[in-house]
A = this chain, B = another copy of it.
Amino acid sequence: MNFCSDNVTGACPEVMEALVAFNQGSAMPYGGDDCTARLPRIFAEIFEHEVAVFPVTTGSAANALALSVLTPPYGAIYCHPQAHIQVDECGAPELLTGGAKLVGIPGEHGRIDGDAFKMALAQAGFGVVHHVQPAALSLTQATEAGTLYSLDQLGSLADLAHQFGLKVHMDGARFANALVSLGCTPAEMTWKAGVDVLSFGATKNGAWAAEAVVFFQPELAGDFEFRRKRAGHLVSKLRFLSAQLQAYLTDGVWLRNARHANAMAQKLAQGLGSLPGAEWVHPPQANELFIELPEPVLQALEQAGFRFYRWLGEDHNQIRLVTAFNTTAADVEHFCQVAKQASQAISVSPGHGANLAT
């Protein structure tokens, strides 16, 4: 009954079993173990491309460390104004890049607008010593608005970035949710579209703390390992991170988890979208819903014990609902039922009707 985020979950059974299974015997630390050694091949198969891959424990670390090898400390990183790296990481990219500047490029529903990006590049002052130097474009898929870039949109933005010599990073905290919605291959959503480096998220979709930084040109990884270590992000018993990733990627666990989460989101969307007064803030395309509901509906839901965030603060009626691999259909149905009943109660209430009429 907690729709606050997909990180209110634990680990999915397959991941937890792997943690238990790998907790045997001894293994060389800092990635010297067999499981970590297998990761490049596992990722290479899934992405149909040679990769360099580095596990870390958090998405902020994955993003900031990935960016740190793409930009000089006086570089500019272009991202959506609502990107996680810009808004939700307390300056981690600035710290780990040594001071690079994140430049917001606006666009509707969490997607960077191509023309706005083009204009920003035109005015960037390449080679002019007074200006930070364009170094990277960071795209979030699924976006912070719960929407998706189409493959064409990704490709077009990445092309533009490459034309100007920038590298392309993808924040894939909800990579699997985006992937199964688009119905494309991991390759198509990444290197085939022009993505150079991916923050591959597993935590929100079934791991307990496992993200992977994936470089599609291994040589681009450069000094990543030194940067990871000096940020305190080289876990000594690294096999436990690798074990989570391996279990997550085995037998389609990750895709199954994501499909379920997305299906629950669609079910929620169907139940809520038709309510009177309901208004979509963003079109729901993965496992996040941003919707405005009448205040009495929200209060009824809260009183029924459902948890979710009022996205603009407690005095606003815009909410975010997030589903996960373990969201049950029963919970979703219950949620929709409470909302529907509260909604019907409004429409028959003369007092509230009078308010609506003004």
Contact = CB atoms under 8 A, between A and B. Distances in A.
**Which of A59, A65, A74, A240 gathers the greatest number of chain B CB atoms within 10 Å?**
A74
Say what secondary structure dominates the interface of chain A: loop
A345 interface: no
A90 B240 contact: no
Contact of A5 (B29, B63, B231, B235): B29
Contacts of A232: 56, 58, 60-65, 89, 92, 96, 231, 233
A92 B230 contact: yes
A115 interface: no
Contact of A91 (B57, B64, B132, B225): B132
Interface in A1-41: 2, 4-5, 7-11, 16, 19-20, 22-30
A353 B130 CA distance: 40
A233 B61 CA distance: 7
Interface of A: 2, 4-5, 7-11, 16, 19-20, 22-30, 56-65, 72-74, 87-92, 94-96, 98-102, 104, 123, 129-133, 203-204, 208-209, 223, 225-237, 240, 312
6 contacts: A74-B90, A74-B95, A74-B230, A90-B129, A99-B99, A231-B232
